[in-house]
Chains A and B, each alone.
Chain A
């Protein structure tokens, strides 16, 4: 069981993001959710009528859908929707210069190292503070090539045709209760369009920050990559540690046209009172490739199953996921692979680590229908348990009809044994260093998939979690 030192350690590990600034919002939708909340959001944003209608229909869907507790954690019942604030903004449009960003917001992102990362290796950055982006910039040469990288509010306003064509098409409002909630109150998130043939060399990055207590963040991201184009998008998330639970519920839709490639990388380090309930899915056309690289550290409960619908012949989908559940946390993650064309290929590699009373769950869905041929899936899920009270569950659902396909499934559960730690300590490593090295070893082959800067960041986060968790 977690001792005092462990509990204290778990608090320390989110320290980097554990600060907030006093609230000063021009637009506050107040607590609770009803039609007037939606009118408030639509009015502030000056939205077209179709969006307002879209939101209201979504609200009705949200209200009609039960919590998915027949299969998911009952902890969901502890979310009190009337105690949440659904829209908080300072009333500013995102600036293209950090100098124009309000001081407290700028300091927030500086403490998180965002402007520095932008200078060093990013092609563009969007920084969202509560409901709206505070900063958004993309390198000039990309703009010249027609690359669009803005927040969703601006995307809807400036590029309505492009946006509307794909918006809600990959993840319909009624996909699940939380996609409906997002559709009702979404704000922020990124809109990206990459024109045919443009290969964006450096990653585009979005950073999502929750600053206010009792706040729900509902960003909406849509990425459309046209024929033969390529992009890598990275998102990072943090929130301070509040006394009360915070809700983060995003919807992310990706569209990869013929021969396009999208790589979507997430490194989240939420504080351990955030309910993180996210729906992510991509649509891959002929010979297109969508890869989700997903790293989940922190949060109270994360439910996230990135998916790829392989709609065109020879489309490829991949989910690479690392989840670390520390004391009191539940990482309920996985992947969905829907094969909808011949010769489509999907690959899932999921690794989870459970520490102390932490719990990790893998849910995977692979669907290959009978009328197709030449589809392949590889699923591999490995769980590592650090303590005897840690828990892991695996629910793979692989449906393959017809006999013209190839699938492969491997799963393993292992534990860092006392003997292994003893062995490492005999060579002079402290218990924390030994744990850390073991965990890094477990995820090592996946970390290599991350861009260099992120693999360093990831290793650092794991080190912090592990060294602190042994007290």
Chain B
């Protein structure tokens, strides 16, 4: 049994332009991995490819989710299979309330003909919103519409908590967050850490990793993982920048 998110020699392009060039890494269940890298290294591309965005074409390599071929699944199938992406720029859905959206997402996970228990659903949602310090009025507001940057990110974490994925990728969730919001988001993620779940935290800054302490840190550069280390690697990168790694010849 291979309980992990496994990315093997992944090559992907946008508009014929290769971005990922043989990315390999494995996140076993129960672990938190971080991916750091300079701008343009392919961090967000990796997130989009894993989620199945159609603008990104996989040209080589593969990804499995607990041994299942992730890339063969439709975008929504991946979600229902337990893959979650917290977006760097969450979209607005005018006219659709947060509560209705979450409810529809939960409903989509049930067998045909089965209805979610509305009372239990609301109770759970309110409890999770309280943990994230979200005002109840957000249930009746359109998804992300008119939300501040921090509110949008918190809303992503709420969705993650409600959908309880097996594998969650957080794409620069720290960008646009002040320190208080960052702490709340991190607490939400930490509360979800479990032997049954894995996280891949994509970030440009070390700051987030003070609060979500990773088991493993990968450095992504020019579409490949060029360095892997423990949590102290993040501090080292913060201090010295990326140059000392990116200029080093890559070990075979």
Contacts and interface: CB of A to CB of B under 8 A. Distances in A.
B58 interface: no
Interface string B91-109: 1111110001100110011
Nearest to A417: B91
Closest 5 CB pairs of A and B: A441-B95, A441-B96, A428-B79, A423-B91, A425-B75
Contacts of B75: 422, 425-426
B96 A437 contact: yes
A433 B96 contact: no
Contacts of B94: 414, 441-442
B121 interface: no
B104 A437 contact: yes
A145 B92 CA distance: 52
Contact of B91 (A414, A419, A433, A444): A419
A328 to B, nearest CB: 26
A312 to B, nearest CB: 36
Interface in A418-451: 418-420, 422-431, 433-434, 437-438, 440-445
A433 B93 CA distance: 13
Nearest to A445: B95
B104 A433 contact: yes
B93 A441 contact: yes
Given A437-B96, A440-B96, A441-B142, A429 B108 contact: yes
B163 interface: yes
A429 B94 CA distance: 16
A440 to B, nearest CB: 7
Interface in B174-198: none
A83 to B, nearest CB: 43
A299 B152 CA distance: 41
**Residue from A427, A429, A430 having most chain B Cβ neighbours under 10 A:** A427
Contacts of B136: none
Interface size class of B (residues with CB under 8 A): 20 to 34
A434 B74 CA distance: 14
Interface in A129-180: none
B96 A427 contact: no
Contacts of A441: 93-96, 142
Interface in B120-179: 142, 159, 163
Contact of A428 (B53, B108, B142): B108
Contacts of B159: 427
B205 interface: no
Interface of A: 414, 417-420, 422-431, 433-434, 437-438, 440-445
A353 to B, nearest CB: 12
Contacts of A437: 93, 96, 100-101, 104
Nearest to B85: A426
**Residue from B76, B80, B87 having most chain A Cβ neighbours under 10 A:** B76
Contacts of A423: 87, 90-91, 93
Contacts of A428: 76, 79-80, 105, 108-109, 163
B146 to A, nearest CB: 14
A444 B51 CA distance: 29
Given A433-B104, A440-B96, A441-B142, A425 B91 contact: no
A462 to B, nearest CB: 12
**Residue from A417, A428, A434, A443 having most chain B Cβ neighbours under 10 A:** A428
A438 B163 contact: no
A425 B83 CA distance: 12
A372 to B, nearest CB: 36
A210 to B, nearest CB: 33
Contacts of B78: 426
Contacts of A417: 91
A431 B76 contact: yes
A426 B93 contact: no
A450 to B, nearest CB: 15
Nearest to A446: B95
**Residue from B74, B84, B96, B100 having most chain A Cβ neighbours under 10 A:** B96
Contact of A425 (B79, B95, B109, B142): B79
B93 A438 contact: yes
A390 B96 CA distance: 22
Nearest to A427: B105
Contacts of A419: 91
Contacts of A430: 76, 108
Contacts of A440: 95-96
B108 A433 contact: yes
Contact of A429 (B54, B87, B104): B104
Contacts of A424: 91, 93, 101
A320 to B, nearest CB: 15
A426 B95 contact: no
A428 B159 CA distance: 11
Contacts of B95: 438, 440-445
B206 to A, nearest CB: 27
Contact of B79 (A420, A426, A444): A426
A212 B54 CA distance: 47
Contacts of B54: 418, 422
Contacts of A420: 91-93
13 contacts: A419-B91, A420-B92, A423-B93, A424-B91, A427-B108, A427-B159, A428-B163, A431-B76, A438-B95, A440-B95, A441-B95, A441-B96, A442-B94
A124 B92 CA distance: 43
A434 to B, nearest CB: 8
A381 B192 CA distance: 45
Interface string B67-88: 0000000111011100011010
B143 to A, nearest CB: 9
A438 B97 CA distance: 11
B53 A422 contact: yes
A96 to B, nearest CB: 39
A113 to B, nearest CB: 21
A423 B87 CA distance: 8
B79 A427 contact: yes
A445 B92 CA distance: 17
Contacts of B92: 420
A433 B110 CA distance: 14
A419 B88 CA distance: 13
A315 B85 CA distance: 54
A405 B53 CA distance: 51
